[in-house]
Structure 1
Amino acid sequence: MAFFSKDIDPALQGAGAKAGLEIWCVENLLLVPVPKTSHGKFYSGSAYLVLHTILVKSGPPQHDIHYWLGNHANEVDSTLVSDKALELDAALGSCTVQYKEVEGQETEKFLSYFKPCIIPLEGVYSSQPGKSNGETYRISLLTCKGDHAVHVKEVPFSRSSLNHNDVFVLDTASKVFLFSGCNSTIQERAKALEVVHYIKENKHGGNCEVAAIEDGKLVGDPDVGEFWSLFGGYAPIPRETPLAVQQQPDTTPVKLFWITYQKKLVQVATSSLNRDTLEKDKCYLLDCDTEVFVWLGRVTSVTERKTSISAAEDFLREQGRSNGTHLTFITEGLETPMFRSYFSSWPQTVETKLYDEGREKVAAMFKQHGYDVKELPQDDCEPYINCRGTLKVWQVNGNELSLVPVSEQTKLFSGDCYIVQYSYPGDERDENLFYAWLGCGSVMDDRVDAISNMSALVDSTKGDAVMAQVTEGKEPAQLFLIFQTLIILKGGISTRYKTFIAENGFADETYDEEKTALFRIQGTNPNNMQAIQVDLVSSSLNSSYCYILQNGTSVFTWIGNLTSTKDHDLLDRMLELINPTWQPISVREGSEPDSFWSLLGGKTEYPKEKKMKKFIEDPHLFICVLTEGKQKILYLCFYSLKG
């Protein structure tokens, strides 16, 4: 879920919405998109930003951000593309992993995007058509290493560059040679052959010869003679002399540093690390010698993150680390398995459910009788439609429909009615789904107009659309998945609601940031979470939920005893969405201060048992037939309907 704003670089607007690769390059201090036809071509004098997006069937999109620095890229461009990577991460909801890529030392993840390889080009990138970008054809000698992802590196065009252990590609104007060292592996030779075909198709337009040269085989082959003539004639490649004593590399202890606001690194732990050391309002650097991670706490600001990245760059420079040192930036909650492996204890994200309390005894009894016991999933089932489409929301206001701005369309008032149009890609064309959402406090005239206007909107769309009428509190899971984040507020802003309240002398409960309000937080994951404003009384609490109690600028978060870490994570995320400036006071059930209860009008009894899901009867399907002006309803079936 992206949180784009007007402050983001225009070149990044809409990034991450589609699966696959998106690439930008710094040109004249501006970020410019690189067309797909140029993906995989990287110029040594430029700096690039690469976004890789995976759209999964259920759950949020997965994003990886890489910024690639050519060996001849200037410092200004390198710093700019680093800042743009952080800007893009913030726009995507701070849910990406960022990698620094240096020419010749790229990670395997980065290389896997470009099949079969990337071959850096001399010069700088230019988006202007017709310019050569500094690229001129010349003979080059390349070495290919790697069994899975191929690292292609240009080496000096000299006989001394050849050896018996690697595979080389010699690219000339009319022929491409593949030289395989006698000690190279079959996998390396196969990957190098893919590189040869890539060069033939992309640099020679498919019009060149290909020759394979075997190390040590001289049988008068004309290709072999031509190959060695380019090096001034044949001469044997010297054998590498093994070292008398094989030195074991020194193992450097892992170190964890806290990055201060002044870009200073303060060592906080070494070797034996614990997850509890990492605080969510700080940034840390984990030094693993050839691998360096920067861990960014979830509540840190963009400024603090930029400072941390700059401090990490300075650290590597001062330490004199080689370009082969990989630098990875990780946001809290998105830690990679490699990062977690350096910690002696890391809390499990999967909670044990089946064997809680006395259920383990029941399960054991069934297993003794030969039954395989498995736990039923508690999360929502997979959505039946694509939940990454386009959402439009209209509010019913008198006889008119008002299109709700995108920034406000996840907020619904229970005193109003809304029409929701959701368009998503189908098998052959875009599909449309319409909901008429009727707030439980809405007036009848607004409800009638909502249904009527929904029918009119459906008629204006091409093709068949699906319509549904939804009452507040009885929303289907599909609606929550479409909204992803939904905030339902008390009161209303429509003209009819305000008139109804005034004529009947009722108090207007419409939400106001300056007044006291209580929200129940619910949902299953960050793409399916809701904040529901409930009555401002202690009986609205339930041990199965987390709550936000707002009193102007003072905010409490209440954590029920039956809630899980997943619920706590949703609470934190919802706080950031409602108002990121809030600094809440966290309260656990049973340890509430008197000021908490006074805001709710005093302490009373509230539900303390796990709330059970209501049994939902299978829907029934009917067909309506008009006969002689009378409507007959024929009962067809009672099978469960999906979709």
Structure 2
Amino acid sequence: MSKQIDSVFDGAGAKPGLEIWCVEKQLRLVPVPKSLHGKFYSGNSYVVLSTVLPRSGPPQHDIHYWLGKDANEVESTLASDKALELDSALGSCTVQYREVQGQETEKFLSYFKPCVIPIEGVFSSDSGQLNGESYKISLLTCKGEHVVSVKEVPFSRSSLNHNDVFILDTASKIFLFSGCNSSTQERAKALEVVQYIKENKHGGTCEVATVEDGKLVGDPEVGEFWSFFGGYAPIPRDSPCVEKQSDSPFSQLFWITAQAKLCPCEGSSLNKEMLETNKCYMLDCGAEIFVWMGRNTSITERKKSISVTEDLLRNQGRSMATHLTFLTEGLETSIFRSYFKNWPQVVEPKLYEEGRGKVAAIFKQQGYDVKELPDEEDCQPYINCRGKLKVWRINGEQPTLIPDPEQTKLFSGDCYIVQYTYPGNGRDEHLFYAWLGRDSVLDDRADAISHMNAIADSSKRDPVLVQVIQDKEPLLFFSIFQTVIIFKGGLSKRYKNLIAEKGILDETYDEQKTALFRVQGISPENMQAIQVDQVSNSLNSSYCYILQTGTSIFTWIGNLSSTVDHALLDRMLELINPTWQPISVREGSEPDIFWNALGGKTEYPRQKELKQHVEDPHLFTLTCADGVNCCQIFSDGGFWILCCLVEFCCRRFQGERDIQLCAG
């Protein structure tokens, strides 16, 4: 490791999750134990590293340096320098954020559940405890519906208002005061904060009381609450505040010179060509400032650029709510790019991509023909996936046609026939699937194949017929549907009769019951939500999940999941139920109510999930008793194609493999 990089960062970023370091008064950086993650002392500055290991591609890192309100300027400068050193140690492939106590970004707050509550005093690595003031009564305000920003306000009646939620933390009781104009979501989040304070500051023994804005003082707990403020007095109404909105977002680009001076960049509009790889720039957007650092700049130049930007904030008396984001060339965020006109969609290759290109070049020099295998996301379907879809459910003698809005919802206890029609060479082509649910009844399976054959015969074409078993669907099946939701249980008469005869609990999906969904896919045009057993060992760090408890909705983000998975999670949530207001939970920060809904916390897979090995394909020939070759079977290890030389002679083929029948 370079002498410019602190040895405390040895091994940083190798594992998923959070790593935190604190700047002590001796101006040295010390690691913070996991038991103290989320506890930030206002007299210190911190460096926080968040690492995500996606299923494919390099690790993803975000660095935040947090400045306590009582930390001195020297410690704050050291924290920003150390954040830059950490970025260098990780290969200059991170995005860095400046966090100021009370004005933290939502991204930073999302790491700590349910919240971050700064503690008065100074951190000491010797004891890991507070060196400063003892326990005192405090008044906190809670804001935010998705992530909670908790801020201590003056202990005074004038701090209360009708719009926010407040927590009064006393030695023996915690009061939750809800302004009459506060939202239900904010109140729910504040209740989580109250529980957190109770467990962490009071050992779980103190009382909790809720006070509604405008409730009569005759209530004993309401009277007790107001006694801390010297008695009850009405809270004045908030005067309306009219903020002047600018017609267009302000932005000004500056070049940061070697002499640490800011030189405005001329031009009527911003474009990417203005950014040179051997220079650093500052983009001032008013409420947010970006520092862009070219890849050919040194650590010294980058430190100087950050120092110049922070001096600008102090000298101009800018608001502490101004966010600073530090970007390395090639890692620009979408917000940063939005200020530039026609930013190219194809960005420069990242370091790992550059290395891959160099290896390929070496092989080519040695005479090898090198071709890159496409990623799973880049594989294009063999047919047009914008055709027409019809879906039937097997329910007795005749299949039932499912209305268009319900076509993408399948049940594991049922069987379905899928007809897909798409434009071919001068005519429409037909593709038929018989999808057999994992828990479906044998009679329904037989009827599904029989009815599929009958519908295919009536099409008067040469259709392709495919038998698909649940959990072994080919990529093309999901590409045709684009979005699929697979529920537990079934709706067919035979399935209902079978579970009634055997006395089995009916697990058919119900919005009022607990349900757990695994979200998977490769793009918005190919994504699935699969209902799994609502137990903790159904979780997997490689995926994202939706947990429905009947009263609350949680989204669980695995440490090894990717940004693509997170985007699919949001889209799928809207499709299952657009009215849900979820509580986002990251792996490792789950509340007790989450584990209780899954029957308690147990072990589950935490390793990166690898793709299953695909066997080499094989070709077989089936010979009838009279010696005639009637069929050829092509197998690729899980998907079977039957090319029948005698019309549909193999419809009675038995087995649990996926079978595709091609009329010869």
Q: TM-score, length-normalised on structure 1?
A: 0.55
1:429-448 matched pairs, under 5 angstroms: none
1:101-500 matched pairs, under 5 angstroms: 101-129=99-127, 132-218=130-216, 220-242=218-240, 247-248=244-245, 253-269=250-266, 272-349=269-346, 366=424, 369-370=427-428
The CA distance in 1 between the partners of 2:189 and 2:615, in whole Å, is: 58
C-alpha change, 1:617 and 1:63, in structure 2 (3 Å) is closer
The CA distance in 2 between the partners of 1:281 and 1:261, in whole Å, is: 11
Conservation of the 8 A alpha-carbon contact between 2:121 and 2:130: no
The CA distance in 2 between the partners of 1:272 and 1:261, in whole Å, is: 25
C-alpha change, 1:135 and 1:236, in structure 2 (3 Å) is same
Shift of residue 247 of structure 1?
4.1
1:47-62 matched pairs, under 5 angstroms: 47-62=45-60
C-alpha change, 1:262 and 1:114, in structure 2 (3 Å) is same
The CA distance in 2 between the partners of 1:96 and 1:63, in whole Å, is: 5
Shift of residue 18 of structure 1?
0.4
Shift of residue 221 of structure 1?
1.4
Greater RCO (Cα-Cα under 8 Å, separation 6 or more): 2
1:303 partner SS: helix
Shift of residue 220 of structure 1?
1.9
The CA distance in 2 between the partners of 1:161 and 1:189, in whole Å, is: 18
C-alpha change, 1:320 and 1:271, in structure 2 (3 Å) is farther
The CA distance in 1 between the partners of 2:129 and 2:6, in whole Å, is: 26
2:122 partner SS: coil
The CA distance in 1 between the partners of 2:426 and 2:218, in whole Å, is: 76
Conservation of the 8 A alpha-carbon contact between 1:65 and 1:97: yes
2:211 partner SS: strand
Conservation of the 8 A alpha-carbon contact between 2:8 and 2:29: yes
Write the letter of the residue equivalent to 2:206.
C
Conservation of the 8 A alpha-carbon contact between 2:164 and 2:182: yes
Write the letter of the residue equivalent to 1:277.
M
Conservation of the 8 A alpha-carbon contact between 2:165 and 2:178: yes
Deviates more, 1:219-228 or 1:343-352: 343-352
C-alpha change, 1:294 and 1:182, in structure 2 (3 Å) is same
Number of aligned residues = 377
Shift of residue 369 of structure 1?
4.6
- Partner residue in 1 for 2:22: 25
The CA distance in 2 between the partners of 1:157 and 1:617, in whole Å, is: 69
Write the letter of the residue equivalent to 2:255.
W
Shift of residue 307 of structure 1?
1.3
Deviations 1:183-223 (A, max 9, x none): 11111111111111110011001010000000001062111
The CA distance in 1 between the partners of 2:295 and 2:243, in whole Å, is: 45
- Partner residue in 2 for 1:604: none
Conservation of the 8 A alpha-carbon contact between 1:256 and 1:270: no
- Partner residue in 2 for 1:501: none
The percentage of counterpart residues that share the same residue type is 70
Shift of residue 640 of structure 1?
6.7
Conservation of the 8 A alpha-carbon contact between 1:255 and 1:270: no
C-alpha change, 1:106 and 1:71, in structure 2 (3 Å) is same
Deviations 1:466-502 (A, max 9, x none): xxxxxxxxxxxxxxxxxxxxxxxxxxxxxxxxxxxxx
Deviations 1:211-236 (A, max 9, x none): 00000010621110100011100010
The CA distance in 2 between the partners of 1:288 and 1:246, in whole Å, is: 17
Write the letter of the residue equivalent to 2:12.
A
- Partner residue in 2 for 1:9: 6
Deviates more, 1:176-185 or 1:5-14: 5-14
Shift of residue 242 of structure 1?
2.9
The CA distance in 2 between the partners of 1:6 and 1:280, in whole Å, is: 24
The CA distance in 2 between the partners of 1:367 and 1:336, in whole Å, is: 43
The CA distance in 2 between the partners of 1:6 and 1:266, in whole Å, is: 32
Write the letter of the residue equivalent to 1:35.
P
1:307 partner SS: helix
The CA distance in 1 between the partners of 2:429 and 2:197, in whole Å, is: 60
Conservation of the 8 A alpha-carbon contact between 1:296 and 1:330: yes
2:281 partner SS: strand
Shift of residue 264 of structure 1?
1.1
The CA distance in 1 between the partners of 2:275 and 2:70, in whole Å, is: 37
Conservation of the 8 A alpha-carbon contact between 2:279 and 2:293: yes
The CA distance in 2 between the partners of 1:271 and 1:170, in whole Å, is: 52
Conservation of the 8 A alpha-carbon contact between 1:257 and 1:269: no
Conservation of the 8 A alpha-carbon contact between 1:619 and 1:640: yes
The CA distance in 1 between the partners of 2:129 and 2:220, in whole Å, is: 38
* Structure 2 unpaired stretches of 5+: 349-373, 379-383, 385-421, 431-474, 477-613, 619-633, 639-664
Write the letter of the residue equivalent to 1:331.
T
Write the letter of the residue equivalent to 2:75.
D
Deviations 1:49-69 (A, max 9, x none): 000000111100000000000
- Equivalent of 1:75, from 73, 76, 79? 73
The CA distance in 2 between the partners of 1:82 and 1:233, in whole Å, is: 46
C-alpha change, 1:250 and 1:170, in structure 2 (3 Å) is farther
The CA distance in 2 between the partners of 1:116 and 1:94, in whole Å, is: 31
CA RMSD between the two structures: 3.3
The CA distance in 2 between the partners of 1:325 and 1:130, in whole Å, is: 31
C-alpha change, 1:201 and 1:369, in structure 2 (3 Å) is farther
- Partner residue in 2 for 1:525: none
Deviations 1:425-472 (A, max 9, x none): xxxxxxxxxxxxxxxxxxxxxxxxxxxxxxxxxxxxxxxxxxxxxxxx
C-alpha change, 1:131 and 1:37, in structure 2 (3 Å) is closer
The CA distance in 2 between the partners of 1:269 and 1:640, in whole Å, is: 62
- Partner residue in 1 for 2:83: 85
The CA distance in 1 between the partners of 2:72 and 2:3, in whole Å, is: 29
1:118 partner SS: coil
Conservation of the 8 A alpha-carbon contact between 1:90 and 1:302: yes
- Partner residue in 1 for 2:513: none
The CA distance in 2 between the partners of 1:46 and 1:639, in whole Å, is: 60
Q: TM-score, length-normalised on structure 2?
A: 0.53
Q: Which stretches of structure 1, 4 residues or longer, exceed 3 Å deviation after superposition?
A: 4-7, 245-252, 350-354, 364-372, 616-620, 637-641
C-alpha change, 1:316 and 1:6, in structure 2 (3 Å) is closer
Write the letter of the residue equivalent to 2:109.
L
Conservation of the 8 A alpha-carbon contact between 1:52 and 1:63: yes
1:273 partner SS: coil
Write the letter of the residue equivalent to 2:11.
G
Conservation of the 8 A alpha-carbon contact between 1:253 and 1:271: no
- Partner residue in 2 for 1:491: none
Conservation of the 8 A alpha-carbon contact between 2:23 and 2:79: yes
The CA distance in 1 between the partners of 2:59 and 2:268, in whole Å, is: 34
C-alpha change, 1:261 and 1:371, in structure 2 (3 Å) is farther
Write the letter of the residue equivalent to 2:225.
F
Conservation of the 8 A alpha-carbon contact between 1:169 and 1:177: yes
Shift of residue 131 of structure 1?
5.1
2:132 partner SS: coil
Write the letter of the residue equivalent to 1:217.
K
Write the letter of the residue equivalent to 1:207.
T
C-alpha change, 1:232 and 1:370, in structure 2 (3 Å) is farther
The CA distance in 1 between the partners of 2:323 and 2:10, in whole Å, is: 29
Conservation of the 8 A alpha-carbon contact between 1:278 and 1:284: yes
